[in-house]
Structure 1
Amino acid sequence: MKPHQTAYERNAPDHRVVERALDTSRNTVYWLEEAGAQTRYPVLSASSRSDLTIVGGGYLGLWTAVNAKRRNPGQRVVLLEARNVGWAASGRNGGFCEASITHGDENGRTRWPGEFDRLHSLGGENLDAFERDVNELGLACHWERTGTLAVAVEEHQVSWLQSAEHSLDREAVQSEIHSPLFLYGALDPTGTALVHPARLALELARIADELGVEIYEHSTVTGIHTDRNAGTVAVATEHATVNSDRVVLATNAFRSLLRRNRLMTVPVYDYVLMTEPLSADQLASIGWSGRQGLTDLANQFHYSRLTQDNRVLYGGYDAIYHTGRKVREEFEERHSSFARLGSHFFATFPQLEDVRFSHRWAGAVDTCTQFTAFYGLTHRGRVAHAAGFTGLGVGATRFAAEVLLDLLSGETTPRTELEMVRKRPLPFPPEPAASLGINLTRWALDRADHRQGRRNLFLRTLDAAGLGFDS
């Protein structure tokens, strides 16, 4: 038996409220549907030669393509996507574009104390540059630099926020967003922008195409190997091969084309609900005039935000791993996770009891043991890779793309000298140890949330070893 209930459990609505709200929802990604995502680019059908080939049409691959052409407009750049541009994590995340490139300040200070100040500065510079790109490239992605509000919903969490620069007592946090659960808050007014995830991906593809990048969809890469006679790397699909001087692998949660990276990440499923648009009265009942991104402080945390048409996105909490590092569409439908999220939503906003959910969906997050991207070069410096963004890749992938291009250039830059870039994190163990360890960690994190945040010996041991598991 759990020692005590969390605030979400103590304030849970009648289960019939949740079931009614979910009854008309569709298992469809709202962002992709709203953006009209569809196949826009041809299948690779003929073999060719390129200066740079990019595998993966999500944010990392798209930013790499755009910035490669901006660095050297004359080079031939090919991008290969297994399905449609942005269909995976890049088109279905919460749309939080954060300044942090270290998965939060605490994670950065713990892992790279000697260079955290530099990493913090680079993250801020990256977000500012991202905003300039949105304006200068004309990226129609619903950009709103509204910041983030972190809230305490348990008494023991209040002290965690009291030293924040922009801390808010109960009255002040309630003036920002009205919820009976919010006891205290901390506002980061500039460190986060909100975007429409799918529109951002499609807009980056549009810019890449205009710059001359050759984009191919439904062109699954089946393998890469060095062609020693030609001095290139052959990137093979089912129908054709691109012989490339340099290659970037940007496949993230999916099985790596590099054997050495297959234990470096695990795919963890994150679940999301989207409400119907709120009426003026419903919106007034919760306040939220600042339109900040919203998150709580639990180990199993929630995140929430408003869309341009005033829907509420509500996601997080469950982080589900499937034995064998599997990524499958059937994992995206999980009623228990959606019902739990719905219950937590109505505990947070009981004044919205009559609101229905229009969409529900899930997606795989690429988690690594340092919770933020790792980097590397293989094939004698011709193939660069990055993965492990752990759910905070909207902003960090832009930075990572610059790192990968720096690495492939062979030049030493301030980015390539970072310890975060030079050193690989510890891998996850193979099965069955991975599944046992991850599920034990999830249990321990849930237990900590039910014990005023107190971490047991198992979690403290993981912390000391620099290992972990996060959504």
Structure 2
Amino acid sequence: MTMHVPLSDDFVNGDVSFWYRAIGLPAPGDPLDGDRDADVAIVGGGYTGLWTAYYLKKADPGLRVVVLEREFAGFGASGRNGGWVTAELAGSRERYAATHGHDAAVRLQRAMFDTVDEVIAAAKDEGIDADIVKGGMFHVARNAAQQARLRGMIDDDRAWGWHEEDLRPLPLDEFTPRLRVAGATGAAWTPHCARVQPARLARGLAAAVRRLGVDLYERTPVTEIAPGEARTPRGIVRAAHVVRATEGFTATFPATHRQWLPMNSSLIVTEPLPPDVWDAIGWSGNELLGDMAHYYMYAQRTADGRIAFGGRGKPYLYGSRIDRRGHTHAWTVEALWNLLIAMFPAASGARVAHAWSGVLAVPRDWCATVGLDPATGLGWAGGYTGHGVATANLAGRTLRDLILGHDTDLTVLPWVNRRVRPWEPEPLRWLGVHAMYRLYRVADARERAGLSRTSALARLADRLTGR
């Protein structure tokens, strides 16, 4: 790889993720072997599928639940993400409110606050050691335009039910002793976020559902989802309810190829940083970190003293293609490294140990959805737009209630049974997504150069793609 980035001697690009490198890639479980009958068949062994199976079996141990996974449980975004259990909505509260009202959108946000604690509690109950620490999250601004957006975000959140204890501004003299980000102009903090080692959580969930009696079949690609059945080359699983829990891989099915766009996100992780570097940076509270740029970043201090740092790389491959093993382009690694050391100059002597990528699902209106068609028994959840670690848990509990026919506070939330139009055919899809991120990059550059307000190019990008 030719780039101006210091790489460790054992640098790895792809091969799923650093999170799995740290704990070892699992040996995939047994595949399906012949036809099966079940009460619920779940297609996809990531967080959504695992949480759905978990809550169904906890509610009704007698249910016959089957999970079908193409690779191994947690192979996709569930084992590759930035490790944020965040309460941020996977979608636009204005759009949820447009169909269900302001109060319904606030209830959805409150449900997400509760979900962060539910993930932590469920992991504790199941004895899952996933390095979970609820340290909250910092939003940081690094120029005048970002500072204006930060103030606007706080004001908007107040209008949508966020109280002072949910989100508060931090003056620099309070923020800097906790985390020193070069060029910071201001920050805000929310307690509703926890750090997690994603692969440990996925592996622990897979073990938990197996203990509950769920049949989890790996190395079993599903070729077709239809009412009453999930078809694979190794047999057909017939069930009254079939749930599609495939997130970024939804585009691989012909019937749903344009429903959700598979967006790439990429991360790098440093070698463990020495104590003097951490003394210079701070970050002892295990907070997560995001910025207010349009081409935004996300980061965590890992349990073993590294910086895991992510952002959008090559955002979309033509024709909704997916690189399953997570290889990351050289210019993406370089861009992430340059931003990391710009924010944390003290880390400039470190080396990058691993780079990887994964796909997340983006609906045409950028709003997540969960639902069940009672006429066909087909269920679905996804379109998390990068906020899936917690949202998948809420989806699993909601699917439980929908499948069991229970009317609950979860089943009336505004994302339930939400449907939107598909994405445009190619080449319009490719042109639109790449134009959006090109405009965001230029907008960020103009704001760094001194523009004191949000660039009109970013607003154009939002309108172009419906974000």
The answer to whether the superposition gives a TM-score over 0.5 is: yes
Q: How does 1:228-247 map to 2 (within 5 A)?
A: 233-247=228-242
CA deviations over 1:190-242 (Å, ceiling 9, x no partner)? 2001111000000001110000001111011111334xxxxxx1222112111
Consecutive unaligned residues in structure 2, runs of 5 or more: 155-163, 448-452
Partner of 2:410: 415
Taking the aligned partners of 1:80 and 1:289, their CA distance within structure 2 comes to 40
The code of the aligned residue for 2:18 comes to Y
Identify if the C-alpha distance between structure 1 residues 201 and 330 changes in structure 2 by more than 3 Å, giving closer, same or farther: closer
From the superposition, tell whether residues 156 and 356 of structure 1 become closer, same or farther in structure 2 (CA, over 3 Å). same
- Aligned equivalents of 1:183, 1:200: Cα separation in 2: 35
> What TM-score comes out, normalization by structure 1 length?
0.88
The alpha-carbon deviation at position 462 of structure 1 amounts to 4.7
Deviation string, structure 1 residues 113-145 (Cα, Å, up to 9, x no partner): 522211121111222222221222222111100
CA distance in 2, matches of 1:466, 1:340: 24
Structure 1 residue 68 corresponds to structure 2 residue 69: no
1:404-439 Cα distance to aligned partner (Å, 9 max, x none): 223323443332323322331332111111111112
Where does residue 204 of structure 1 map in the other structure? 205
Aligned to 1:215: 216
Q: SS state of the match for residue 422, structure 1?
A: coil
1:5 aligns to what?
A: none
- The worse-fitting range, judged by mean Cα deviation, of 397-406 and 110-119 is 110-119
Match of 1:318 among 313, 316, 332: 313
The TM-score, its normalising length taken from structure 2, stands at 0.88
- The aligned residue for residue 139 of structure 1 is 128
State the match for 2:137 in structure 1.
148
Quickly say closer, same or farther: Cα 1:108–1:276, change in 2 above 3 A: farther
How do 1:161-200 residues align onto structure 2 when only pairs under 5 Å count?
Answer: 161-162=150-151, 164=154, 165=164, 166-188=168-190, 190-200=191-201
The answer (yes or no) to whether the contact 2:41–2:242 under 8 Å persists in 1 is yes
Which deviates more, 34-43 or 293-302? 34-43
- The number of aligned residues is 445
- The one-letter code matched in structure 2 to 1:19 is V
What amino acid does structure 2 have at the position aligned with 1:148?
Answer: M
Moved more, 352-361 or 159-168: 159-168
Match of 1:8?
none
Q: Residue in 1 aligned with 2:330? A: 335
User: Secondary structure of 1:407's match?
Assistant: helix
1:104–1:348 distance in 2 versus 1, CA, 3 Å: farther
CA contact 1:102–1:119 (8 Å) conserved in 2? no
Partner Cα distance (2:145, 2:465) in 1: 25
Residue 100, structure 1, aligned to residue 88, structure 2:
yes
Partner SS for 2:258: coil
| Alpha-carbon distance in structure 2 between the residues aligned to 1:106 and 1:374 | 15
- What is the percent sequence identity of the aligned residues? 29
Output the aligned Cα RMSD.
2.5
Determine the structure 1 residue equivalent to 2:158: none
> Quick check: 2:271–2:352 contact (8 Å CA) kept in 1?
yes
Counterpart secondary structure, 1:186 = strand
Query: Does the 8 A contact of 1:173 with 1:183 survive in 2?
Result: no
> What residue in structure 2 maps to residue 384 of structure 1?
379
Aligned mates of 2:22, 2:232 — CA distance in 1 = 31
Matches within 5 A, 1:266-305: 266-305=261-300
d(CA) in 2 for partners of 1:134, 1:378: 30
Aligned residue for 2:299, secondary structure, equals strand
Residue 467 of structure 1 is matched in structure 2 by 466
